[in-house]
Chain A
Amino acid sequence: MDNKRTTTKIQELTYELKIKDVMTKNIETVGSKIPVSHLRDILYNKRISGVPIVNDNKLVGLISIEDFIKCLEQGEMDDLIEDKMTKNIKTLYADEPLVHAVMKFEKYGFGRFPVISRKDKKLIGIITKSDIIKGVLKKLETAYHDEEERRYRASHIFNDVMADEIFFKFQYYVEGKNFDRAGEAATGLKKTLYRLGLSPEIVRRAAISTYEAEINIVAFTKGGKIIAYLEPHQIRIVITDKGPGIPDVEKALQPGFSTAPGWVRELGFGAGMGLPNIKKFADKMTLRSTVEKGTRLVIIIKLSDYRNED
């Protein structure tokens, strides 16, 4: 499982990163009208494996350490570079995603590709396989660091507070029938949980289920409140209203069943999916309702990395 996840992350990164993010800039170039022997200093001193050949700011070829060794073997060190270099070279644009470079390396088996800018086609860098590896590793490290920091923040709150029992309480009031303000509680809770360092997936599930519940309060009741408790192992969201209550709870839980009036449907809700959706995104949901008195809905979202798939 873990192996698979890492692979996917790296594949993702090759789409996210651009070639210009990982390529080597400030590269050495030489002209084509000089003898091959001149390359020795550059290749040796700079410890590089290939040099782009540029005449009048224009990329005309590429010469690699392999080409150099071949000339050395055959005693052709005094030949001009332009006779020994690879012409018709393949290039990459700086703004292409890294995955294009990966594919080109696979396709052609070359050791390096010159990188040019899309605008003026000028040479601005060079990319090798080791640049790709270094770039991806660096990005992975940064991502790991961010994730660690977020995790630390989330666990930190609970570690820093000294009490026998700890919970953080966030309370939101929801007006009945006021669709202009519907969604404020859910988006407010979402921002809050995210800032506290909870994982985006947990935050998303909490936000979606709260939003559906909020829509229900606005659409059907005279108003109510949403209280979210952040506890060490779970988020408990308690949604209460002052009625009119649900006559048949079992029926209300069926996908597709709806008593929503036309104006709710016009706004994009009321298709009988609210409660089934909450059930889908919550780890546990309990609904109690008394006609005329009101409804109490409790949503539990577990904070552990893997929830029970029961």
Chain B
Amino acid sequence: MTLKEIKELLEAEVLTGKYDPETEIQIGCSSDLMSEVLAFGKPGSILLTSLSNIQVINTANVADIKAVCFVMGKIPDKNIINLAKKNDVVVFITQLTTFESCGRLYKNGLNSCGYFNLDK
């Protein structure tokens, strides 16, 4: 699924980042716990979260997550945007709830990370 399709499905706004609408995203994940994202997030995925602080971008950066969508109309502050710009993380915001956002993407064919497994 391309970033453009994701943007349309989530009725989202692009806030920053090297936004190439044709960038392919294979996998989606969603959590407000960044440790969970680090544990099960996959490289090249999109993260949907209602948590809005600088650690979301740091998490995306270290885990090679390409794009972050802040759901439920959470507007990230300047520091978050600046850090995302610096690290080429694409940032979306949407007014939709977490469930609605995930549901729309999943229904339209975006894969999930599958089962959570703490083993190697």
Q: How distant is the Cα of A180 from the Cα of B79 in the complex, in angstroms?
A: 9
Q: How distant is the Cα of A269 from the Cα of B64 in the complex, in angstroms?
A: 19
Asked if A190 and B54 sit within 8 Å, CB to CB, the answer is: no
Report A174-199 CB contacts with B as 1/0, cut-off 8 Å: 00000110110011001000000000
Asked if B61 and A274 sit within 8 Å, CB to CB, the answer is: no
In the bound complex, residues from chain B placing their C-beta under 8 Å from that of A136 are: none
Asked if A204 and B43 sit within 8 Å, CB to CB, the answer is: yes
Asked if B38 and A208 sit within 8 Å, CB to CB, the answer is: yes
CB-nearest residue of chain B to A16: B24
B17 to chain A, nearest CB (A): 16
B119 is an interface residue with CB less than 8 A from chain A? yes
A106 is an interface residue with CB less than 8 A from chain B? no
Asked if A280 and B39 sit within 8 Å, CB to CB, the answer is: yes
Q: Taking A190-B62, A212-B38 as contacts, is the C-beta distance between A268 and B43 under 8 angstroms?
A: no
Chain B CB within 10 A, most for which of A15, A210, A276, A280: A280
Q: How distant is the Cα of A183 from the Cα of B80 in the complex, in angstroms?
A: 13
Chain A CB within 10 A, most for which of B35, B55, B63: B35
Q: How distant is the Cα of A274 from the Cα of B36 in the complex, in angstroms?
A: 9
CB-nearest residue of chain B to A15: B24
A-B Cβ contacts below 8 A, count: 83
Q: Taking A268-B32, A273-B33 as contacts, is the C-beta distance between A208 and B62 under 8 angstroms?
A: yes
Q: How distant is the Cα of A280 from the Cα of B118 in the complex, in angstroms?
A: 6
Asked if A211 and B62 sit within 8 Å, CB to CB, the answer is: yes
In the bound complex, residues from chain A placing their C-beta under 8 Å from that of B118 are: 255, 276-277, 280
Q: How distant is the Cα of A271 from the Cα of B34 in the complex, in angstroms?
A: 9
B83 to chain A, nearest CB (A): 9
CB-nearest residue of chain B to A189: B62
A267 is an interface residue with CB less than 8 A from chain B? yes
CB-nearest residue of chain A to B54: A180
B51 is an interface residue with CB less than 8 A from chain A? yes
Asked if B51 and A277 sit within 8 Å, CB to CB, the answer is: no
CB-nearest residue of chain A to B119: A280
In the bound complex, residues from chain B placing their C-beta under 8 Å from that of A183 are: 54-55, 58-59, 61-62
Report B22-41 CB contacts with A as 1/0, cut-off 8 Å: 10100000001111101100
Asked if A186 and B38 sit within 8 Å, CB to CB, the answer is: no
Q: How distant is the Cα of A115 from the Cα of B112 in the complex, in angstroms?
A: 34
Q: Which 3 A-B pairs have the closest CB atoms?
A: A183-B58, A273-B35, A207-B62
* A residues at B contact (CB < 8 Å): 15-16, 95, 179-180, 182-183, 186-187, 190, 200, 204, 207-208, 210-212, 215, 255, 267-269, 271, 273-274, 276-277, 280, 309
Q: What would 8 A/B residue contacts be, using CB atoms closer than 8 Å?
A: A15-B24, A183-B55, A210-B62, A268-B32, A268-B59, A269-B35, A276-B39, A280-B118
